[in-house]
Chain A
Amino acid sequence: MGSIQQASATVTGTQAPVIAITELAKSFGSRCILSNLVLTVPAGQSLALIGANGTGKSTLLRMIVRLADADSGRIAVLGEEVGSLRGARLKRFRSRVGVVFQKHNLVARISALSNVVHGVQSRRPGPRSWLQALAPADVRAEAMACLEAVGLADKAMQRADSLSGGQSQRVAIARMLMQRPELVLADEPDASLDPRAGREIMELLFRLTRDKGLTLVFVSHHMAHARRFADRIVGLADGGVALDRRAEACSEAELAAFFEEPEEPAPAEPAAPFAVPVLA
């Protein structure tokens, strides 16, 4: 990872940061995931988080919306100190951050439209946001517009568990749009999809966030997606930021280095040849 660290150069934004993380540390038991992490994301930027499994990418996204707590350090998002948020303030904060998960996390037995209507729950709590059938006309219209934006208006009344993986992820994006977020976090939205569907989802997510001028932070193991849909790529390794530069300045080989296995010594020759059954 040494060559990557040498090549790293911080990308500085000119706008006020949407995310400002300083000296962040997180461990699971004795295993240190993140230590002394510093990261600033300016408004409107599309940032790709890359790194091998276990380098803390998903944990970092979870800590940004306080689904997980940091051991130490400070996370400021959209002007809020995330660590100090509790109760109603935490709910209000979360409503400003849209999250797209690797698994779409839709409610299986209800319609796509009802799932999208759920996105309004922070703004319009109460029984009328539980199902599309109970929702007010303006909420239904907005949910339909969100489904239209992801190209699934014709599947509005279809049950979520009857949709394909790519369609389900689109509905999850529509639900996120319904939330009217100011910041979008996406944790490997392309991971459980075939290459074409994965690319389409990333294109859709990038286009929608760019059109609305939203900040997008996404985790991806597809280096082509990172280079194509991010303004900036941040690579995590050894508990911290090992690469931070503009996407167009990152080479394939440089990014691939994040996923290379450390070299292991060649296995010793077996002491005796394997016994082969003799056929009569």
Chain B
Amino acid sequence: MSVAPPLSGHPDRFARPSAVAFIGSFLAIALVVWSFSGSELSAEKLIRGIPYMGNILTRMFPPDLSRIEQIFWSLATTFQMAVSGCVLGLILSFPLAILAADGLSPHPIVRTLARGLIAFFRTVPDLIWALFFVIAVGLGPAAGVLALMIDTIGYAGRFFAEAMEETDKGPREALSTIGASKTGLIFSAVVPNAMPSFIATSLFCVEKATRASVVLGLVGAGGIGVELKVAFDLFDYDTALTIILAVFALVVAVEQIGGWLRRRII
């Protein structure tokens, strides 16, 4: 048995926070407190709301299946919106991602502009895009498709660009040494190596678009969201529950199939 070394030689378990870390922690806590104070959320309100919540839940059960066929077709429209908006977004985000990718973009100014556009598309919420396109192209699924397309470009554009930047530089250099063009280099060396990330991102985009497409209907961009809004506006809570369960089934199905495809392909 060896002799235990003196404890004084051990480092402290926790480092003493620096002044900056201390001020940072204080500001973070202050931010949380300030946010709650502005939310007007109180225990009293929650307690007062419980009977109303109970009333809504009671009126939701059992779910009303009399309009199930109409709900099914609205759900199908929602899914069509999600898929078409997503596909358009993925197609457009690919060239934009090349322009935004470090080492592939033709010029630093082009890269900055492409990155700025992608960031702008991503930071403006999809609901705002839906409101914009409802005004531009009118009520209905077309507005939803365009909103989802923009939202997908914002999301996929960034991840596609990052995936291409992270690919192995060796094959790129080898093809460059052969005398390949930049386009040849991108499609021969970069795209095949980034393909797993492209597939994963695309599947996440479909899942994200499916969830988003439900909400977009609330502002008139077509699909099941319109049905849900009408049901709530008419206090038709049992139909609303049927719609919520149908949406839940669709989102879970898309996520499960997406996960299965990711495991199979990647």
Contact = CB atoms under 8 A, between A and B. Distances in A.
Interface string A113-140: 0000011011001110111000000000
Interface string A9-33: 0000000000000000000000000
A69 to B, nearest CB: 15
Interface string A189-204: 0000000000000000
Contacts of B175: 118, 121
B166 interface: no
A143 to B, nearest CB: 13
Contacts of B200: none
Interface string A251-263: 0000000000000
A121 B173 contact: no
Nearest to A100: B174
A3 B235 CA distance: 99
Interface in A145-197: 172, 175, 179
Interface string B240-265: 00000000000000000000000000
- B1, B3, B188, most chain A CB atoms within 10 A: B188
Contacts of A109: 192-193, 195-196
Contacts of A93: 179
Contact of A125 (B3, B171, B181, B192): B181
B170 A94 contact: no
Interface in B148-183: 168, 170-171, 173-181
Contact of B177 (A67, A110, A126): A67
B1 A105 contact: no
Contact of B187 (A67, A130, A172, A175): A130
B188 A130 contact: yes
How many residues of A sit at the interface, in one of the four size bands? Answer: 35 or more
Contacts of A130: 184, 187-188
Given A129-B184, A278-B3, A107 B189 contact: yes
- A67, A91, A175, A280, most chain B CB atoms within 10 A: A91
A103 B180 contact: no
B2 interface: yes
B181 A105 contact: no
A75 interface: no
A242 interface: no
A241 interface: no
B178 A105 contact: no
B1 A280 contact: yes
Contact of B192 (A67, A107, A122, A279): A107
- B171, B176, B196, most chain A CB atoms within 10 A: B171
A170 to B, nearest CB: 15
Interface string B29-60: 00000000000000000000000000000000
A95 interface: yes
A214 interface: no
Given A121-B175, A125-B181, A277 B3 contact: yes
Contact of B171 (A107, A127, A279): A107
Contact of A101 (B3, B170, B196): B170
- A105, A109, A277, most chain B CB atoms within 10 A: A105
A89 B251 CA distance: 54
Contact of A94 (B2, B179, B184, B188): B179
A121 B181 contact: yes
Contact of A278 (B2, B170, B184, B193): B2
A101 B171 CA distance: 10
- A122, A125, A129, A130, most chain B CB atoms within 10 A: A130
A207 interface: no
A228 interface: no
Interface in A192-223: none
A279 B1 contact: yes
12 contacts: A91-B179, A94-B179, A105-B170, A107-B192, A109-B192, A119-B178, A121-B175, A125-B180, A127-B187, A130-B187, A179-B179, A280-B2
Interface of B: 1-3, 168, 170-171, 173-181, 184, 187-189, 192-193, 195-196
